[in-house]
Amino acid sequence: PFCPHLICSAGYMGGGASVQLDPAALSNAEALAAKRGECDGDDGLKGLVNEIQSENELLTDYIARRDALEVHHACSGIGTDEKALTRVLCGRTKKHLQAVDGHYREAHDGKKLFQLLKGETSGSLNKMFTWRSMELVEFRAAMMDAAMDGFGTDEDLLTETLVTCSNAEITELREYYEATRDKSLMQRITSETSGEFKMFLTKLLQAEKDESEDVDEGAAEEAAEKLYKAGVGNWWGTDEACFIDILVPANRKQCAAIATAYENARGKSLSKAIDKEFGGDTANGLNAMLCADKVDYLAKRLRKAMKGLGTDEEAICRVLAGAGCFETCRAVAARFMELE
């Protein structure tokens, strides 16, 4: 028994046609679950919510099975139906795609979606499809490997992946990496990086960032003065640890307050001071701490990927595939337009 309203929002079509689901419909179960906790005092309403939630779960599971079948058909025979793959992989939430992956593995001896997709497409489209089909933690671990495997290290990719993570996400990434690789993430990073940049990354990996929105103006002024004395005002060189210890653990709004206090006191931006005192990789990381939020940082990464001659298609795929949810993607797009 499917809820008619949800079927309408899903654009359900019988006869083997593709199921077109509004992404908002897939989040209804989560919204209903939240309401369910608010209805404890009304058994009738609670029962109704439970019934709707149950129907929603049945519908989303049904669509996930249909999506798994559609992906299989898109990759069967001669050629690949890239439009069908795009409908599923770029039109569903990450949570829903994990259900699709589960159904696909169940029907194909444990083979994951991303393993199928690697052999069916190529170039940037392959990267987008592959990364969209992964769990976020799996995607982030893959980015860590891509940044450190082979000759040299992609410092920008390490920064991009870690500065957009919450404390919980960094902890999850460290645990997942250690469980699936032969080294811990901390061991890997400390062996692949050095100097001030290693110091910056290891501080991030401690997952001790203040995630509140509290701002202490007095503390910001004190921090700004310490940063001046540790950088531009230090004739004996730069105290890198001071910058890292102040900016990495601070919340975004506190970092903004520190940057404002620095400019008010010294007449120059903190960002320019960082660029002057640090090498490119660490400067990029510390300046990422000054971005308003994750959305602001990702929008600036997109702008950089499309600025100048040529386009960094891989970076664009990473940002959009790793953003996590459609709401974040829309927010990044809106912020990107503001930067133009």
Cβ(196)–Cβ(248) below 8 Å? no
Under 8 Å between Cβ of 130 and 118: yes
pLDDT at 14: 33
| Averaged pLDDT for residues 127-145 | 95
Share above pLDDT 90 across residues of the chain, in percent, rounded to a whole number: 74
> What is the average pLDDT across 73-93?
93
Residue 35 confidence (pLDDT): 57
**Residue, of 77 and 300, whose pLDDT is higher:** 300
- Least confident segment among 18-27, 237-246, 260-269, 311-320: 18-27
Mean pLDDT for the stretch of residues 70-82: 93
pLDDT at 42: 62
Residue 178, pLDDT > 50, answer yes
Residue 80 Rama label (left phi>0; alpha psi -120 to 50; beta): beta
pLDDT higher than threshold 50 for residue 244 = yes
Q: Cβ neighbours of residue 216 under 8 Å, at least 6 residues apart?
A: 254, 257
CA quadruple 35, 213, 162, 286: dihedral, nearest 10: 160
Q: How far apart are CA 114 and CA 71, in angstroms?
A: 11
Q: What's the pLDDT at 29?
A: 53
317/8: higher pLDDT = 317
pLDDT at position 339 is 92
- The string of pLDDT tens digits covering residues 34-62 is 555 555 556 667 776 777 778 788 888 99
How far is the C-alpha of 334 from the C-alpha of 330, rounded, in Å? 6
Quick one: pLDDT at residue 118?
84
pLDDT, average across residues 281-297: 96
Chain centroid, CA 243 distance in Å: 25
Q: Which range (19-23, 189-193, 227-231, 268-272) has the least confidence?
A: 19-23
> What does the pLDDT read at residue 305?
95
φ/ψ of residue 23, rounded to 5: -55, -30
Q: What is the mean pLDDT of residues 64-68?
A: 95
Tokens representing 274? Answer: 């960082």
pLDDT reading at 307 higher than 80: yes
Q: What is the pLDDT of residues 2-38, one digit of tens each?
A: 333 332 333 333 333 444 445 555 555 556 555 555 5
What pLDDT does 39 receive?
A: 56
φ, ψ (nearest 5 deg) of residue 235: -70, -15
The DSSP call for residue 22 is: -
Considering only residues 124 and 55, tell me which one the structure prediction assigns the higher pLDDT: 124
What predicted TM-score, i.e. pTM, was given to this entire model? 0.82
Q: What's the mean pLDDT in 213-227?
A: 97
